[in-house]
Amino acid sequence: MLIGGFQKFTMLDYPEKIAATVFTSGCNFRCPFCHNSEIVNPKLINYDNQISEEDVLDFLVSRKGDLDGICVTGGEPTLQSGLIKFLTNVKEMGFLIKLDTNASHSNVVGNLLNKDLVDYWAIDIKTTPQKYKIMTKGNDVIEEIENCIDLITKSRSELELRTTVVPGYVNLNDFDEIMEWINGINKKTFSKLYRYSVQNFKPEKTLHRDFEKVIPHQNEYLEEIAKKIRTSCKNVVIS
């Protein structure tokens, strides 16, 4: 695996758990508002400065009993060829695993579910299906996202959906369509959902520098969005 960053302690990334976070390098999306340009943009990835899996695993051995689990985020972790092997090693040590994904690779998600390696999934819902096509430059990922959600809701794993409310990319009205879309994937999705996170956009270190000038929404706007989501999902958090 290409590991571009490692945070040894977090109480924020894995709900109700103490964890460490692994940042994998590389992503198949180029969201202009992404904050992780140094691990997403191939020109900015420092290939000499990657962290080895062994170093991460050695650290975890030394923190058995202190940490509940790890978060694997990115970039896009499902692109990593060594992901299953790495997660198998982590799981054998007794740690819980949370995986963040853009849900563009349902075959990988299916393999991870078959091996029961992931305890908690966080899937980004970036916008409506129609706007996804514009954002991903025609690359149709909707079916992949639907497959991922469907597979996870039928498993024992917990699922979080989350949307970063980026002005111009997703707005209050879009959530009518988003709710209808998610409800149509699998009737159990919202009843099985651990939570839906509505995240405010922070105009810092964005992949496309113009987004550093975008003014985030006020909290009241996010509350309105949360109100819409609460008609389908009990646990909605704003961050």
Positions that interact with ligand SF4 (CB under 6 A): 27, 29-31, 34, 36, 40, 74-76, 102
Question: In the bound complex, what is the minimum distance in angstroms from residue 35's beta carbon to ligand SF4?
Answer: 7
Nearer to ligand SF4, 62 or 139 (CB): 139
Shortest approach of ligand SF4 to residue 156 CB, angstroms? Answer: 26
* Residue with smaller CB distance to ligand SF4, 102 or 163: 102
Six-digit token string for 113: 């579910």
Q: Where are the alpha helices (DSSP H) in the chain?
A: 37-40, 53-62, 83-92, 106-114, 129-135, 142-153, 174-185, 189-192, 219-230
Q: Minimal distance in Å, beta carbon 185 to ligand SF4? A: 19
Structural contact between residues 153 and 159, judged by C-beta atoms closer than 8 angstroms: yes
Smaller CB distance to ligand SF4: residue 67 or 211?
A: 211
CB of 92 to ligand SF4, least distance (A): 28
Q: What are phi and psi of 220, to 5 degrees?
A: -60, -35
| Least distance (Å) between residue 81 CB and ligand SF4 | 18
Looking at the Cβ atoms of 78 and 157, the one nearer to ligand SF4 is 78
Give me the residue whose beta carbon is nearest to ligand SF4.
Answer: 34
Contacts by 79-85, CB closer than 8 A, 24 or more apart: 79/24, 79/26, 79/27, 79/28, 79/105, 80/1, 80/2, 80/24, 80/26, 81/1, 82/1, 82/53, 83/1, 83/24, 83/108, 83/112, 84/111, 84/112, 84/115, 84/117
CB atoms within 10 A of CB 131: 17
Residue 233 tokens read as 């999902």
Q: Which is nearer to ligand SF4, 31 or 125 (CB)?
A: 31
Give me the least distance between CB of 207 and ligand SF4, in Å please: 6
Please measure the distance between the N-terminal and C-terminal CA atoms of the chain and give it in whole angstroms. Answer: 30
Q: How far is CA 205 from CA 10, 35, 108, 123, 211, in A?
A: 21, 5, 29, 22, 9
User: Cβ closer to ligand SF4: 5 or 74?
Assistant: 74
User: Which lies closer to ligand SF4 via its Cβ, residue 101 or residue 153?
Assistant: 101
Least distance from ligand SF4 to the Cβ atom of residue 178, Å: 17
